[in-house]
């Protein structure tokens, strides 16, 4: 009986230790997906920089494509949500915000 209790405790502890990693990876997937949706929205609403927005969106999509199926679903849902609402993490996408996102150091990895 004690062995079963130790086993259950060990499994529970292992699941709790692994959960922040899963949550972080899910948030990363949502962030990349939302960025791709924002770039699609910005390409349609900010004339003159469509090429840069499309390039950023394409590179974000390549990163999404390499994700596991669960993370990919999270990213695609975030992409659609950002595009449909015209919002990126709660902030309305206007011309200035689109350009800030495109130049943000967080996303420079897409332009290497």
DSSP class of residue 90? Answer: T
Would residue 12 count as lying in a domain?
Answer: no
Would residue 8 count as lying in a domain?
Answer: no
Q: Provide mean pLDDT across the span 7-16.
A: 62
Would residue 39 count as lying in a domain?
Answer: yes
Would residue 44 count as lying in a domain?
Answer: yes
Would residue 64 count as lying in a domain?
Answer: yes
Query: Do residues 43 and 53 make contact, with C-beta atoms less than 8 angstroms apart?
Result: yes
**Euclidean distance between CA atoms 30 and 87, whole angstroms:** 13
Would residue 5 count as lying in a domain?
Answer: no
Would residue 91 count as lying in a domain?
Answer: yes
Residue 15 has pLDDT above 70, yes or no: no
Per residue in 42-95, pLDDT (tens digit) is 999 888 888 888 888 888 888 888 888 889 999 999 999 999 999 998 899 999
How far lies 21's CA from each of 14, 44, 52, 57, 74, in Å? 12, 35, 32, 26, 15
Structural domains of the chain, count: 1
CA atoms within 13 A on the CB side of 46: 23
Would residue 6 count as lying in a domain?
Answer: no
Q: What angle do CA 30, 108, 97 make, to 5 degrees?
A: 70
pLDDT at 19: 47
Residue 17 has pLDDT above 70, yes or no: no
Domain span including residue 57: 29-111
């Amino acid at each position: 009986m004690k062995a079963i209790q130790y086993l259950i405790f060990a499994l529970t502890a292992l699941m709790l230790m692994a959960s922040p990693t899963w949550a972080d990876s899910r948030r990363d997937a949502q962030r990349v997906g939302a960025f791709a949706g924002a770039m699609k929205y910005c390409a349609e609403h900010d004339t003159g920089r469509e090429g840069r927005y499309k390039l950023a969106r394409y590179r974000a999509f390549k990163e999404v494509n390499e994700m596991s199926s669960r993370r990919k679903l999270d990213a695609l849902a975030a992409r659609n949500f950002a595009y449909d609402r015209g919002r990126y993490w709660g902030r309305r996408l206007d011309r200035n915000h689109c350009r800030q996102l495109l130049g943000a150091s967080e996303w420079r990895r897409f332009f290497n």
